[in-house]
Amino acid sequence: MITTIQYKSRKLKIDLEQPLDISIPIKGGNSNVNAWYIDPPKIEPEVFENGIISVEKGASVNFNTITFNPHSHGTHTETVGHITKQKYSINKHLKQFFFLAEVVTVAPEKRGEDYIISAKQLQFAIGNKKREALVIRTIPNTRDKKTRQYSNANWTYFEEDAIKLLVKKGIKHLLVDLPSVDKEEDGGELKVHKAFWNIEGKVRKDATITEFIYVSNKIEDGAYFLNLQIAPFENDATPSKPVLYKILE
């Protein structure tokens, strides 16, 4: 269904029947994507005195308990509460869910033993476009991103100046196909997270970072209408389901 919506000062034509899901779901077991040195998530039926609460085992319903960490086990959206003593709940601080977004593809630069995303690269990719959200796909972009085990992998990360550029450009919602925007082992400095949320100034409480997305190669770079769906957890981060809609000309 093609519809025209009024979004701020613009009219956007989108096809609601062609959603582009860029999330990685959480599933139980070792094939689930993982980072930060913890065990895989578990999705298991509860056990009571009268047996396992599973239809397969003879119960009348399925009654699974899920054990996971949003930062380690799939697509998640986080707020500044991820790095502050004060608690900032994603459920309280993300109050809008539709944004004008740009999808860009970036080839990380090799720097010593690391791969980084620089301000120069992002300036080239974005130019002077005005967007609220930025979706970054890194290359090579293979399907094993959905199951990769990232612990001790020294993944690609952003330079601090790259994030400062995005803040200057007004990007409030950053979505990346990495476990973190910061280097895996940085001594706890978290310079990139701090720069994005402007920890040393007026904190951007309504800004979010979404990590562990997967952007299919079938999705072209360009402008999209983003629906950033979250699960209603009162926590610094929550599993999320970002969905893109192509803007039709």
Mean of all residue pLDDT scores within the chain: 96
Average pLDDT on 14-27 reads 96
Is the domain spanning 2-25+70-248 CATH 3.50.30.50? The answer is yes
Average pLDDT on 184-196 reads 97
Residue 49 has pLDDT above 90, yes or no: no
- As a whole number of Å, the end-to-end CA separation of the chain is 15
Pull the structure tokens for residue 67: 């054990």
Domain-wise residue ranges, the chain:
2-25+70-248
Pull the structure tokens for residue 241: 């389901």
pLDDT the model gives residue 206:
95
At 130-176, the pLDDT tens digits run 999 999 999 999 999 999 999 999 999 999 999 999 999 999 999 99
pTM: 0.96
Pull the structure tokens for residue 209: 């970072």
Pull the structure tokens for residue 125: 């990719």
Average pLDDT on 7-17 reads 89
